Every structure is written in structure tokens, then in C-alpha cells.
Amino acid sequence: MTQLKETGWNFDNSYARLPKLFFESVEPAPVQAPALVIFNHSLADELGLDTKKLASKEGVEQLAGNQLPAGAEPIAQAYAGHQFGNFTMLGDGRAVLLGEQVTPAGERLDVQLKGSGRTRFSRGGDGRAALGPMLREYMISEAMHALRIPTNRSLAVVTTGESVMRETELPGAVLTRVAASHLRVGTFEYAAGAGTKEELQALADYAIERHYPDIEDNEDKYLALFDEVVKRQAALIAKWQMVGFIHGVMNTDNSSISGETFDYGPCAFMDEYHPATVFSSIDMQGRYAYQNQPAIGQWNLARFAETLVPLLHESQEHAVEMAQEILSTYEEVYHNEWLAGMRAKLGLQQEEDEDQTLAEELLRIMEAHRADFTNTFRALTLAQPEDTPMSGTEEFAQWFEQWQARLDREDEATASSYEVMKNANPSVIPRNHRVEEALEAAVEDGDYSVMERLMNALSDPYAYSSEQEEYTKLPEPGTGPYRTFCGT
């Protein structure tokens, strides 16, 4: 392939310097007629890219995989994973990592093409992606970024001019994904299962250098690595719970070492508050339900700990004890993050022992009255409790009185508490029916204006602007249960 030197690419591909065990060198498979359908100008600016050149015909050839950017060393990463609890060897079956872009701010970010063709990890798949799921990942990942939740991001979606076969014939597309890295719990599971101790150590050293350089000189740096990942995962999942986000497929290959939300498949946002909510069509047993996400996070971290045992101590027994001690801190870290988040959602800036009970009682009442998660906190933020289905009930009136009394005990003025709430409670989220509406218009009719209006509303979810009012509305009654699909 021709390497294009324009557009501002500044690759330095450190992952490709790891042992060959961890990747396969592979070039993206060219597509027939690439066309740019959505482009993230603000992210391109952050990456130091020339947006005009990247959106040009030659630039689109890069985003489609038809031509390589200067400095790219395309690879498919090897990894494993526990998928719904069952271990299997995996790898990038439809994605190619072009390299690591070093931004003007000195940040190192992976740039990956998703839907770029077959690799040796494709396991019988076609290596391609359909337009709908790629647009969905673009929308949700950028919405999560706007919600201030750590996440991989999306630079562009390009249609290929080719069809892919799923249940039906669908238009093909390539997504350009940007992430702090693509290191997963599953990457370490692969190293532990297929590699030597030296290769596992090389991977751990790489993860520390890339994501946790402050612990490089720590005497027990591999234990410190585990501790740091535990903290980031606990904090991340607490943030998910604060906005009603349900990942849908929390397999270990989708659990990022960097602490980012990773690999958007059958994810969705909860409307009506119900802890057992599941959207994914393949999660038949509810393993990854909203209420289970914190515990699954800890389960995934236990699998990570198992891979690190050879690096923690010569005595396996002592190494396991060390790992268990760190893993046992997860629940406290998560609880503290969750409670801090709930205090903010209720405008509480000081801490009182009864705050947890106050938050849990509200959630119980919300569940009993099938209240919308986002709109309930929005109504409280706007001092409009009458706009919830709980209004007029005795139990909500009692709770509201207790909450007001609690706010009165704050050192700051009540107005300040409502500002805290406004900063913690989004006015809008990617409502499932709105996402589907945008996808249908784009995929079926080639109309991207619906998606663009939605993305504009989601770009500042804490604005509480009049333009967002339309996107706070719930789906029409009788639309039935919402189901999501992974799109592979």
C-alpha cells in the first residue's frame, strides 16, 4: 500500500515492539467505494490531524483501509477472554490497529480500523462490519465522552460500497476507533495461557509504562499494577451506574486495563429504573444486567489477578494471598465511588451516615413506580418533583421531606446544591428509541440529519437547554421491550 504523508499522522507503534506472540502483522482489506458519512472534527483536532485533508478523497481512502497513513504498522492483536463465563482464545477478527498516534499534547492513543477485513483470528467470520452497528458505536461512545465517562472514542465512519451478510444483506462500513490502548484483561489471559513467563512480564511492563508510569520504580510494581486497575475499574463501573448505562457484554476481552469503557456492542441506557434490566439479545440469563455490573467487574478483575500470579511472588500461595488482599478492596472502592456519585446526584456536598439510606430509598420508590431513571433526577434538579410518576404518593412525599431537610443541613446554600445536581445529572442521554430512529434514517434512507441533530443534543448533556427538551421524551407506550444485538 502507498503510505500517505499528509493529514498530520504522528505514529510511534510501541505495541508492535512487543514479542510477536501478541500480534499478527496484517494489512486492511481494500473496499470498493469508500464514502465518508460521519467525521469527528473535534477529535481530529485533538489528535493533531488536518481535518480538511483527512475528509478529502485521499484521506477517506486511509479511513477505509485502502491506503496506509505514513508511519502506520498495521497489526491484529491477539487476546483471549471469558465470554459469558466461558474461556476461549480470541483476537482481532475484524479490526486492524494502524498504530499509536502521539498527539500535540503528548498523549499516546491507539487508532484502529474496525470492519477492515479478515485476519487469522477471524474464526470463520468475514472480517467486515455493517453500517448500523458502526454508527451505533460512534453515537454511544461520543455520548459517553460527553457524559464525562472514560471511553474509547470514534473518529469516523466510512461506508464501503459493499454489502455484508448478517440475518439480511446490509451496507458495509468501517469505523475508526481511538482508545488509550486496546490492552484488555483478555490480553493478559492470552499471555498467561499461550506465552512464557518472560512474555507475560514483557506485557505487564508495557502496560505499566503506558498507563501507570508512576509505579515503574515500585518494588512490587506488578501488585501495584493490579491495585491501579482495580481502582479504575471500580470507578468506571460506578460512573456507568450513575447514568443507567448497561454495557451488555462485560466479557474479559471487553475489560480495558486503562479503565475506559470499551467495545460497544449490545449496550443501551435504561429508561424505567429496574435493577434487573437487560437489553442484550444474547444475555439470556441476565449475567450482565444493570444490577450485576459491579460484581462482574470484580469477577473480571479476579481473572486478571490470576494471570499476574507468576509475577507477584515466587510462592504461588503467597502471590494468591497478595492478589486477594487487593481484590478485596474493590467493593469498598466501588461503594465509595457509587455513594459519592449518588450524593452529587442529590446535591449533597457534605457527608452524613444516613446518605446511603436516603439514596437507596429513592431508588426503591422509583422502581416501585416505574419511574424513568434520567428524568427523575432531572426533575429533582429542576425542582419539579411533580413531573415524576411518584408525585402524589405518600412514600415519595415522606422521602422528599427528608431530602429537603438533609439539604437544609448543608453548609452551602440550597442554590449551590442544585448546581451540584445539574453537574451530576444529565438532562439527556442517548435514548434507545432515538438511537434507533437515527439508525433507521441513516441505514434505510441515507438520511444522516436525524443522527446529526441527536448528536448535537448529546454533545453537552448537562446544558439543560431548550433544544434538548425534545430528547427527554420517553418512547410511546406499548412499544414493547427493547432488545439490542452485537452486530457481529
**Do residue 134 and residue 232 come from a single domain?**
no
For the chain, the maximum distance between any two Cα atoms, rounded to a whole number of angstroms, is 71
Is there a domain that residue 401 lies in? Answer: no
Q: Are residues 154 and 14 in the same domain?
A: yes
86's enclosing H/E stretch is: strand 86-89
Torsion, Cα 432 138 278 480, to 10 degrees, reads 30
Give the residue from 342, 360, 247, 340 showing the smallest Cα distance to 297: 247
Q: Are 101 and 181 in contact (CB under 8 A)?
A: no
Note whether 311 and 200 are within 8 A (CB).
Answer: yes
Residue 105 domain-assigned (yes or no): yes
Query: Helix, strand or coil for residue 16?
Result: helix
Asked if residue 215 belongs to a domain, the reply is yes
Q: What are phi and psi of 99, to 5 degrees?
A: 160, -165
Does a structural domain hold residue 395? no
Buried b (16+ CB within 10 A) or exposed e, 174-194: bbbbbbbbbbbbbbbbbbbee
pLDDT of the residue at 100: 97
Report the alpha-carbon distance of residue 479 to residue 416 in Å, rounded: 39
* Per-residue model confidence (pLDDT) at position 19: 97
Clarify whether residues 44 and 148 are in a common domain: yes
- For residue 406, give the DSSP letter: H
| 301 and 283 in a common domain | yes
Q: Do 174 and 115 touch, CB atoms closer than 8 A?
A: yes
Q: Measured between alpha carbons, how far is residue 445 from residues 31, 143, 201, 242 in Å?
A: 22, 23, 51, 35
Per DSSP, the residues of 249-279 read: ---GGG-BTT--B---SS-EE-SB--TT---
Residues of the chain with pLDDT under 50: 1-4
Q: What is the pLDDT of residue 486?
A: 66
Verify that 285 and 203 share a domain, yes or no. yes
Classify residue 457: in a domain, yes or no. no
- Check whether residue 239 and residue 135 sit in a common domain: no
Rounded to an integer, what distance in angstroms lies between the CA atom of residue 282 and that of residue 144?
23
**Predicted pLDDT at 469:** 95
Q: β-strands 23-25, 75-77: how paired?
A: antiparallel
CA 228 to chain centre: 18
Of the residues 322, 337, 352, the one at which a domain ends = 337
- pTM comes to 0.95
Q: Are residues 175 and 203 in the same domain?
A: no
- Domains: count for the chain: 2
Whether 100 and 222 map to the same domain: the answer is: no
My answer on whether 164 and 191 are in the same domain is: no
**Is residue 428 in some structural domain?**
no
| Residue-wise pLDDT tens digits, 467-485 | 999 999 999 887 767 777 7
User: Is 273 found in the same domain as 145?
Assistant: no
430-457 burial by CB neighbour count: b if 16+ within 10 A, else e? bbbebbbebbebbbeeeebebbeebbeb
369 close to 390: Cβ distance less than 8 angstroms: yes
**Which residues are annotated as catalytic?**
253
Structure confidence at residue 124 (pLDDT): 85
Please state, in angstroms and rounded to a whole number, the distance separating the CA atoms of residues 75 and 23. Answer: 6
Residue of 258, 221, 253, 215 lying closest to 236 (CA atoms): 258
Q: Are residues 205 and 292 in the same domain?
A: yes
List pLDDT tens digits, range 445-475: 999 999 999 999 999 999 999 999 999 999 9
Location of C-alpha cell 447514568: 243
Q: Which of 283, 308, 337 is the last residue of a domain?
A: 337
* 90 and 189 part of one domain: no
Domain-ending residue, one of 303, 337, 371: 337
Residue partners of 99: CB distance under 8 A and separation at least 6: 11, 12, 13, 16, 69, 71, 72, 73, 74, 110, 111
Residue 2 has what pLDDT? 44
Asked if the structure places residue 45 within a domain, the reply is yes
Q: What percent of the chain is helix, strand and coil (3-state, nearest 5)?
A: 45, 15, 35
Torsion region of 273: left, alpha or beta (phi above 0 gives left; psi -120 to 50 gives alpha):
beta
Looking at residue 487, its pLDDT comes to 62
What DSSP line would sit under 100-168, residue for residue?
A: EEE-TTS-EEEEEEES----TT-TT--S-EEHHHHHHHHHHHHHHHHTT--B-EEEEEEEEEEEEESSS
Domain that holds residue 85: 3-179
Q: Per-residue pLDDT tens for 381-406?
A: 999 999 999 999 999 999 999 999 99
- Residue 257 domain-assigned (yes or no): yes
